């Protein structure tokens, strides 16, 4: 008999909820809704609960057929107690999401962070299948990574291993959300690209992107792609700079960890071929000769669904690796 679980990817700009087959990872239904920081945590929690109910109906299943619920949240999480400690992009602080969802659905709820669950999705059903030593790097609203060693996620001494977004790549550079200056995330995320483009426009530079932008709305990956297709010089220059900085972070990982594979994912990578190809080329150029010759780059096979599918598998994954104290 098939068994099903629900996975929720709580990202910086959207909530993607899926109902997945636990054995095959197949997505039977999904719901995608936008998140807005200013609307408060109560509204956001209501949206999450509604999404869970909707995917069950859309897949023509009953709650009784669901084994458990998993969630990956962008930000700092308390995995053991299921609390979102701080998710600055969506304005959540100290939200006991496990307790809230368990009360609502009477199902076990598991919480991880967004990069962790996306990596689990890739380990079980995507580009990481059959691999033992690799690193997943996701570039989207922010920049994050996850280290896989001997087929297991490395959580580190306090559970924060893989914070590639906070590698300092520019001394005294741009201020990062973490409080430090010159972090990779301040240069290689969609938010960083957006800030740079807006600054260029304010300087009076001409750009095609102005035709796709909506005043106070985020600059989406699709808009960047469109401007790129129209050979917009401003957008090309900003993307080139972003790829260069991201490649420096990736090259450092190649030199330090010597993984056999790097899986790249996240909105910018999934959405823009040029961004992926340029980043890979520069990362190879900027890393040591031997590891860069051998390394294999691959895009996250599950694309935008890595996180939600991985979240649905969080309980099973933890069961396999229950010995890990930080898991």
How many other C-beta atoms are found inside a 10 Å radius of the C-beta of residue 163? 17
Contact status: 178 vs Zn ion (CB under 5 A): yes
Stretch that binds Zn ion, among 63-71, 182-190, 219-227, 239-247 (CB under 5 A): 182-190
Of 63 and 178, which has the nearer Cβ to Zn ion?
178
How many other C-beta atoms are found inside a 10 Å radius of the C-beta of residue 302? 23
CA distance 194 to 232: 15
State the minimum distance, in angstroms, from the CB of residue 143 to Zn ion.
10
| From candidates 6, 10, 92, 176, binder to Zn ion by CB under 5 A | 176
Stretch that binds Zn ion, among 5-13, 28-36, 156-164, 168-176 (CB under 5 A): 168-176
| From candidates 166, 190, 196, 261, binder to Zn ion by CB under 5 A | 166
Site for Zn ion in 100-139 (CB under 5 A): none
Stretch that binds Zn ion, among 8-16, 21-29, 176-184, 264-272 (CB under 5 A): 176-184
| φ/ψ (deg, to 5) at 9 | -105, 105
| From candidates 63, 180, 199, 296, binder to Zn ion by CB under 5 A | 180
State the minimum distance, in angstroms, from the CB of residue 165 to Zn ion.
6
The burial of 173, by beta-carbon neighbours within 10 Å (0-12 exposed, 13-18 middle, 19 or more buried), is given as middle
Neighbouring-strand partners of residue 299: 264
| From candidates 8, 183, 224, 309, binder to Zn ion by CB under 5 A | 183
Of 122 and 185, which has the nearer Cβ to Zn ion?
185
Q: What DSSP letter does each residue of 249-285 carry, written as one string? A: HHHHHHHHH--SEEEEESHHHHH-HHHHHHHHHHHHH
Q: How many residues in the shown chain lie near Zn ion by CB under 5 A?
A: 5
DSSP label of 176: P
Residue 117, both tokens? 């669950």
Of 186 and 264, which has the nearer Cβ to Zn ion?
186
Residues 252-266 as b or e (16 or more Cβ within 10 Å = b): bbbeeeebebbbbbb
Contact residues: Zn ion, CB under 5 A: 166, 176, 178, 180, 183
């Amino acid at each position: 008999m098939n068994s099903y679980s629900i996975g929720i990817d709580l990202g910086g700009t959207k909530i993607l909820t899926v109902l997945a087959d636990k054995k095959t990872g197949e997505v039977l239904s999904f719901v995608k809704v936008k998140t807005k920081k200013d609307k408060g945590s109560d509204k956001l929690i209501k949206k999450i609960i509604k999404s869970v109910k909707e995917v069950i109906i859309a897949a023509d299943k009953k709650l009784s057929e669901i084994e458990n619920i998993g969630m990956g949240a962008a930000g700092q999480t308390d995995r053991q107690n299921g609390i979102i400690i701080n998710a600055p992009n969506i304005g959540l602080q100290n939200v006991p999401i496990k307790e809230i969802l368990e009360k609502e659905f009477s199902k076990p709820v598991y919480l991880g962070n967004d990069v962790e669950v996306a990596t689990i999705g890739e380990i079980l059903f995507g580009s990481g299948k059959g691999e033992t030593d690799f690193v997943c790097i996701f570039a989207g609203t922010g920049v994050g990574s996850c280290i896989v060693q001997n087929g297991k996620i490395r959580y580190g001494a306090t559970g924060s291993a893989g914070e590639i977004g906070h590698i300092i790549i520019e001394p005294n550079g741009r201020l990062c959300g973490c409080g430090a200056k010159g972090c990779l995330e301040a240069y290689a995320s969609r938010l960083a690209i957006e800030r740079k483009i807006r600054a260029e426009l304010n300087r009076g530079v001409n750009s095609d992107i102005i035709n796709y932008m909506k005043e106070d709305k985020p600059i989406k990956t699709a808009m960047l792609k469109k401007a790129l297709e129209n050979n917009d010089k401003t957008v090309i220059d900003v993307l080139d700079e972003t790829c260069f900085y991201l490649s420096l972070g990736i090259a450092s990982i190649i030199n330090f960890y010597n993984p056999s594979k790097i899986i790249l994912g996240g909105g910018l990578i999934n959405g823009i071929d040029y961004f992926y190809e340029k980043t890979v080329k520069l990362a190879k150029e900027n890393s040591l000769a031997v590891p860069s010759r051998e390394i294999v780059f691959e895009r996250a096979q599950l694309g935008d669904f890595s996180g939600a599918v991985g979240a649905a598998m969080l309980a099973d994954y933890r069961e396999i690796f229950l010995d890990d104290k930080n898991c």
